[in-house]
Structure 1
């Protein structure tokens, strides 16, 4: 009898332990956990240009221009991969913003890039760093500090300051509050830095974690200007299909450097890589093999009013 009791207790303990571990994994990777709701920064108009832009708006399937925002989309081919380039000029950093899925900060709160962009009347948008899949890493969005616990990573973060300039930093060297005090309005904890001071900052063999070398990619870069305007380059590549194999980090860095950026940073890629422009998804996001569909993400970077 005592033998049976001991085994019963052991089985019960094992079941409780397994249940606790399963719940912990689900909480980290699956179960949505909302922390706070964020108000949208734009009106609820269904048109991305209605009652927002200033001056005459000129737009085509591949371009948009008004008094403050100029965006041109081009498509290229390299290394058996299709990529899309957004050349963006802004009169002010106030038009470069971020938005959260379901206007909510938390873990595993997701929505497609196009849906978040539409809700915020974005003219242009890309996926962000998928902060919600992690429990650490500084999170500052549109000047609000949401998370101040540092991540343990070999890669630097990207910060966008209130003047629209870029800065990369290591979380071990600063605090989130110090970043806020320095004028940082948006942070991205993914990486790595692709271009620094105009030079390629990754090796030809470097890769994010255990990911394949050829992947869909999303990257953002800045070009220094002398006229006071803000000039950005965003590149999204397709991948993981027969038509488009994807880019390595080094190949993306080479592309960014070819456009004259001084700093470029690698955002979340793979199935997350999405470019949205004037109400349409520009690229072909791949979530599973050859399946063309958007992956739901936790945040976006966008251009709009």
Structure 2
């Protein structure tokens, strides 16, 4: 039996305030819970140039019966050209071990925890921040085979139970159709930075939505991305930024090229900036905000142990 939990318009949850201040409080601060104890419910269902050649690296590995993970840390350049990025290469014999989790194990808007806290709550081996779905009220949200929102607005990343990973136009489908096709997790942010093995033209001009503070994602920024290789292996990538002398961040075209360098044929940009975080076995891998300071977010994508 499939479960469906829809995040609606929240029209019945108004706070009674009027004017701009009331709208801003309701939109960006007031917690709006649509589902709690999500894990229990889901368990019922089954332009800086990157010189790769001169970059210094360190690596670590993890292996279990279901997943093999190799994490490599890269750094290159100096001063304003310094860059630090982290790559997790994931091979699994069961795509469902790549799961998603919500902050405070609850679905809704303005519910946040740090990625490390969410990862610890779910015993994640490896985790990255997700699409911060709770910052907006549009987009298709399917997590671990359960529908939470069906308001198509942009290109989404779809991870299927059979291992397929695709970029899908949400406005041309529905959550029910995606679920029927085997969608396991659907994340709605973007844009796609690699399609069919190339970086799309105009990717650096895409706007995710019209929310204040998230209207434009261009320029050199910290980034989080998911890529997939032709053989189905996943790549989680986090690029640090906004920290002169350590890492300046990258543009969207550069992010796409970095995923191409990892042999990805599909690549998708997730929430970045201060949200960009990678956690491995309970420890921070990158340096969020350039100083190991995590920002609360709505969700993570993780590999279960």
Query: TM-score normalized by structure 1?
Result: 0.81
Match of 1:63 in 2: 61
Structure 1, residues 246-273: CA drift from partner, whole Å, max 9, x if none? Answer: 0110111000001111111000000000
Which of 204, 213, 216 is matched with 2:222 structurally?
A: 216
Kindly state the Cα deviation for residue 211 of structure 1 after the two structures are TM-superposed.
3.6
Using the alignment, how far apart are the partners of 2:28 and 2:291 within structure 1?
A: 22
Q: Report 1:241-280 matches (<5 A).
A: 241-242=243-244, 243-280=246-283
Tell me the number of residue pairs that the alignment of Structure 1 and Structure 2 aligns. Answer: 262
Match of 1:88 in 2: 90
Using the alignment, how far apart are the partners of 1:172 and 1:143 within structure 2?
A: 20
1:202–1:113 distance in 2 versus 1, CA, 3 Å: farther
Using the alignment, how far apart are the partners of 1:271 and 1:110 within structure 2?
A: 14
Using the alignment, how far apart are the partners of 1:259 and 1:241 within structure 2?
A: 24
Q: Report 1:104-183 matches (<5 A).
A: 104-151=106-153, 153=154, 156-183=155-182
Kindly state the Cα deviation for residue 20 of structure 1 after the two structures are TM-superposed.
4.2
Please say if residues 96 and 184 of structure 2, whose CA atoms lie closer than 8 Å, have aligned partners that are also in contact: no
> 1:72 aligns to what SS in structure 2?
strand
> 2:91 aligns to what SS in structure 1?
strand
Kindly state the Cα deviation for residue 176 of structure 1 after the two structures are TM-superposed.
1.4
Counterpart check, 1:188 vs 2:187 = yes
* Poorly superposed stretches of 4+, deviation over 6 Å: none
> 1:62 aligns to what SS in structure 2?
strand
Kindly state the Cα deviation for residue 203 of structure 1 after the two structures are TM-superposed.
3.7
> 2:152 aligns to what SS in structure 1?
coil
1:204–1:109 distance in 2 versus 1, CA, 3 Å: closer
Which of 48, 66, 70 is matched with 1:72 structurally?
A: 70
Kindly state the Cα deviation for residue 244 of structure 1 after the two structures are TM-superposed.
0.8
1:157–1:205 distance in 2 versus 1, CA, 3 Å: closer
Structure 2 residues without counterparts, runs of 5 or longer: 1-15, 41-57, 208-214
> 2:178 aligns to what SS in structure 1?
helix
Counterpart check, 1:304 vs 2:304 = yes
Counterpart check, 1:285 vs 2:291 = no
Using the alignment, how far apart are the partners of 1:101 and 1:75 within structure 2?
A: 27
User: How large is the Cα RMSD of the aligned pairs?
Assistant: 2.1
1:61–1:82 distance in 2 versus 1, CA, 3 Å: closer
1:187–1:62 distance in 2 versus 1, CA, 3 Å: same
Q: Which has the larger radius of gyration?
A: 1
Please say if residues 204 and 218 of structure 2, whose CA atoms lie closer than 8 Å, have aligned partners that are also in contact: no
Please say if residues 205 and 218 of structure 2, whose CA atoms lie closer than 8 Å, have aligned partners that are also in contact: no
Using the alignment, how far apart are the partners of 1:256 and 1:212 within structure 2?
A: 17
Using the alignment, how far apart are the partners of 1:218 and 1:291 within structure 2?
A: 17
